[in-house]
Structure 1
Amino acid sequence: MLRLHAGEFGRWQLRHFVLTCLAWALEAMHTMVMIFADRGGEAAGARTPRRGPAAAAGGRRWAEWGLVCGERYKVGLVQAGFFAGCMIGAGVFGHLSDSFLGRKGSLTIVCVLNTVFGLLTSLSPSYWAYAALRLLTGFSTGGVGLCAFVLATEPVGPAKRGAVGMSTFYFFSAGIALLSGVAYLFPPWRHLYVVSSLPSLLFLVSVLPFLSESPRWYLVRRRPHDAMAVMREIARTNGRRLPDNVSLKLDDDDEEHDKKEDQNSYSGAALSGSILDVVRSPTTRVRLVLTVAINLLCSVVYYGINLNVVNLKTNLYLSVLLNSVAGIFGMAATYNLLFIYTMELFPTVVRNAALGCATQAAQMGAILAPLVVVLGRRCRLRCSGRAGSSGGCWRSTSRRR
């Protein structure tokens, strides 16, 4: 219907896409705030403390909480806990966004939780309270990107969906760049957590009311009248009009064709789409192993490079800003390409199962990255470089297969 009547990517989709993807900037701020907030821990564990009032305040904070040189691993433990929360939250809110909450409802919940947990983090009285609140923040943050990605791309036509999906990560990089400016203006770590949490509240009250629920979710929940209302709004804003006798169906013709091919390939046995069906086929089994390895290594590289800027003898704010700009053309683009590439590697009936494994692998890489940064000492960048090279080689292998 989008292709024939409402328009695949018109003014309605553009406005909806931009407003929805602002949530990716919020996710970036909640994720990368650890670069600035936790740098005092690096100073406390280093031979020569980093200069500056913010680093000194952070050092006093870690010293007050009992962090000494032999316990510098606790800095990485907090950061790894955040990404562990992201891994759990992505699974939970991924399920909820498909169920009764919907995409918009789930995005609303995670924005509320991000605001609450972020503000509570600024009041942390001890190290373990701080670690627990960062874990909870990761749990809610893990659902932001997933819900925003689905909500932003589902109303887009099939021909434009790939390019639109690739553009979502630009907002994540923009959020990191914005965070560097915020951290420069509000260097104390408690102030930084407050200021970086307030945009989620602003998004909640000023952006979410203007977003529409996905018409695809309405169809899945057997609410065709609501889906048609959204489609009429899309057509009207795009300067088109839906015919009176038109009806909606869940899948377009191309997806139906893919489904028939998948059914023939799996002889009707893989319609459940479980991970066992992926492993059962030699071709998809090899692809799954390579995809999991590539996602894990690329995640280690991306987050390792971003978190390692605290160890460089350069201006921290400028380094983070330059990293965010370079990320648009480097690892950020690789992340999005991997997401889309993985979807195309597997048949429709097992695509979600394979994509779920790849996403979990990427989260595992994110969990390992802070520990590599904190414990790696002189070989930090070398570890990231080797991980990136290995991922590139394995990606070439998967392409040949």
Structure 2
Amino acid sequence: REGPEERRRMGIDEVLQRHAGEFGAWQLRHFLLTSAAWALEALHTMVMIFADREPPRFCALGPGRCADPDPCRPASAGWAWAGGPGASTVAQWGLVCADRYKVGLVQSTFFAGCMLGAGVFGHLSDSFLGRKGSLLVVCILNTVFGLLTALSPSYWTYVGLRLLTGFSTGGVGLCAFVLATEPVGPTKRGPAGMSTFYFFSGGIAVLSGIAYLFPSWRILYIVTSLPSFLFLILILPFISESPRWYLVRRRTDEAMDVMRAIARANGKDIPNDITLKLDDDDSREQEESNNLEKGVKEQKTERAAGGSIVDVLRTPMTRLRLILTVAINFLCSIVYYGLSLNVVNLKTNLYLSVLLNAVAEMPAFVLTAVLLDRFGRKPLGVGTMWLSGVFCIVGSMVGGYGAMKIVRMVCGILGIFGMAATYNLLFIYTAELFPTVVRNAALGCATQASQMGAILAPMVVVLGDKVPFAVFGLSGIVGGILVFYLPETMNKPLYDTMAGMEEAENKILLK
């Protein structure tokens, strides 16, 4: 039987499983409120599809009275942009022919901002700002930068503001994901984490309707920025800080308050004699009993309170995991964003195409949520990446005319289906591969790698009809091979410290 001291001091996962509940009413409410931020990220990210589109042209002089239009001079010979110059940034600043590259430059600049923001806010959310504090800051910045973008007087001002919007957007999904999943018990964390992407796809679907109702690019930026402000005043005050962040910052009383609130809302009770501990507290106490020097003890306390990406790279086990997750996220992002942005080249109804793409992602999330705890993270990661890769390779082998055009479109949809499932899976997988003290820093690096892939994706799309599909296919196959080298994390504890994770992994190896 357990002794009194062992019963009194427990890790967060153990308290959730034995006393507070792994996914009850409190976690459901907290999850829904926090994950709504993913819809905000979708609005700020995918708005470029509509704001930077090339609208159709019409004869302003009347039917049949205009000469053949000069594609490099849209206003020549009586031709005008449908919706006027305010219909999109392309119409506003004439981004065609020699200036067409500027459309891709804006998109790449936005994702470059996302890459920087993911790293910065990944670190800040692990350190003094916390998960909720970081989410507060990025939503404020998104609101301000989004509204200023609508007032852009010139193209280069527009580029600069999209860079800043990307910087703040890069931290939204990252902070929301960790904040939503950390209070969830270990056996429920996987399906919960996978479900966050429904909000991102839902945001894209809503965006297609918003863009249809507000075709002016300036008004579109205003309408898509206001939800971030509404999130700040209507939702964020009702979201709790992560108890795990409190605990690693040595704010045990506040962590315990959150745990008791979880238990009360779930109709359970935590005994008064229970307190929380980090997963390496026992080994640390033993070490400190052998060394009473004050400086050593302060150093250990500081190390437990927070970590950085340097700590991840210092340890061989976490260093290899980081390298693999960075490479896999990079390849996944090339495929996902490449196939998503390629929708403008299909020459179909843009609003309907974006809506169908968003809807097509949702069955992938259902599939991964159902199979996640049945087959594990690794087999599912390999399978979904290879599924996408194979169909993209098939798409590169068929023509783009007649019936083959339909085949290629189906290959693209199935490619997005597979890679959306992988993208979803990688968030929960990456979060489980690293301990709490460096989790957001590691997720930040993985997200930065994703943004690097997103930066590259528009450049791949312009390579022609078949080459992009071939690149996407190769990326999927190679990514699946790399997943083989990651450890399985299904039903394993969510470790709090580097020392605790190393100790547990060493015990597994000794067995």
Band of TM-score, shorter chain? 0.7 to 0.9
Cα shift at 1:211: 0.9
> Structure 2 CA distance, aligned partners of 1:323 and 1:57?
26
- Give 2:24's match in structure 1, choosing from 3, 6, 10: 10
Partner of 2:54: helix, strand, or coil?
helix
Letter in 2 for 1:250: L
Q: 1:134 to 1:354 in 2, by over 3 A?
A: closer
Does residue 99 (structure 1) correspond to residue 127 (structure 2)? The answer is yes
> Structure 1 CA distance, aligned partners of 2:484 and 2:81?
45
Aligned to 1:338: 426
- Give 2:112's match in structure 1, choosing from 84, 108, 125: 84
The answer to which of 330-339 and 141-150 deviates more is: 330-339
- Give 2:171's match in structure 1, choosing from 143, 158, 180: 143
Aligned to 2:328: 294
Cα shift at 1:232: 1.6
- Give 2:448's match in structure 1, choosing from 360, 367, 372: 360
Q: How does 1:38-187 map to 2 (within 5 A)?
A: 38-40=52-54, 53=82, 57-58=86-87, 61-62=89-90, 64-65=92-93, 67-187=95-215
Aligned to 2:66: none
Aligned to 2:402: none
Cα shift at 1:380: 3.6
Unpaired segments ≥5 residues, structure 1: 257-270
> Structure 2 CA distance, aligned partners of 1:12 and 1:338?
25
Q: 1:121 to 1:366 in 2, by over 3 A?
A: same
Contact 1:80 1:370 in 2 (8 A): yes
Aligned to 1:391: 479
Does residue 204 (structure 1) correspond to residue 232 (structure 2)? The answer is yes
Letter in 2 for 1:103: R
Deviation readout 1:36-77 (Å, 9 max, x if unpaired): 11113899997898x983596446x43553534112111111
> Structure 2 CA distance, aligned partners of 1:155 and 1:24?
18
Cα shift at 1:351: 7.3
Find the structure with the greater CA-based Rg. 2
Cα shift at 1:252: 8.9
> Structure 1 CA distance, aligned partners of 2:442 and 2:240?
29
Q: How does 1:246-285 map to 2 (within 5 A)?
A: 246-251=274-279, 281=316
Aligned to 2:463: 376
Partner of 2:171: helix, strand, or coil?
helix
Aligned to 2:340: 306
TM-score normalised by structure 1 residue count: 0.84
Letter in 2 for 1:89: G
Higher helix share: 1
Deviation readout 1:322-352 (Å, 9 max, x if unpaired): 1112223122220122233445667999877
Q: 1:274 to 1:292 in 2, by over 3 A?
A: closer
Partner of 2:331: helix, strand, or coil?
helix
Q: How does 1:185-224 map to 2 (within 5 A)?
A: 185-224=213-252
Cα shift at 1:239: 0.3
Letter in 2 for 1:337: L
> Structure 1 CA distance, aligned partners of 2:36 and 2:262?
20
Contact 1:40 1:55 in 2 (8 A): no
Calculate percent identity across the aligned residue pairs.
Answer: 69
> Structure 2 CA distance, aligned partners of 1:215 and 1:349?
12
Cα shift at 1:180: 0.7
> Structure 2 CA distance, aligned partners of 1:340 and 1:149?
9
> Structure 1 CA distance, aligned partners of 2:132 and 2:433?
29
Letter in 2 for 1:211: I
Contact 2:90 2:103 in 1 (8 A): no
Q: 1:369 to 1:279 in 2, by over 3 A?
A: farther
Contact 2:197 2:424 in 1 (8 A): yes
> Structure 1 CA distance, aligned partners of 2:91 and 2:265?
57
Unpaired segments ≥5 residues, structure 2: 1-14, 58-68, 75-79, 284-303, 365-416, 489-511
Partner of 2:275: helix, strand, or coil?
coil
The answer to which of 204-213 and 389-398 deviates more is: 389-398
Letter in 2 for 1:362: S
Q: How does 1:224-235 map to 2 (within 5 A)?
A: 224-235=252-263
> Structure 1 CA distance, aligned partners of 2:30 and 2:476?
34
Aligned to 2:50: 36
Q: 1:197 to 1:62 in 2, by over 3 A?
A: same
Does residue 316 (structure 1) correspond to residue 350 (structure 2)? The answer is yes
> Structure 1 CA distance, aligned partners of 2:193 and 2:355?
23
Cα shift at 1:81: 0.8
Letter in 2 for 1:20: T
Cα shift at 1:384: 2.8
Cα shift at 1:214: 1.2
Cα shift at 1:312: 1.0
> Structure 2 CA distance, aligned partners of 1:247 and 1:287?
32
Cα shift at 1:396: 5.0
Contact 1:273 1:351 in 2 (8 A): no
Deviation readout 1:195-226 (Å, 9 max, x if unpaired): 11111111111111111111122223332222
Contact 1:296 1:361 in 2 (8 A): yes
Partner of 1:39: helix, strand, or coil?
coil
TM-score normalised by structure 2 residue count: 0.67
The answer to which of 63-72 and 364-373 deviates more is: 63-72
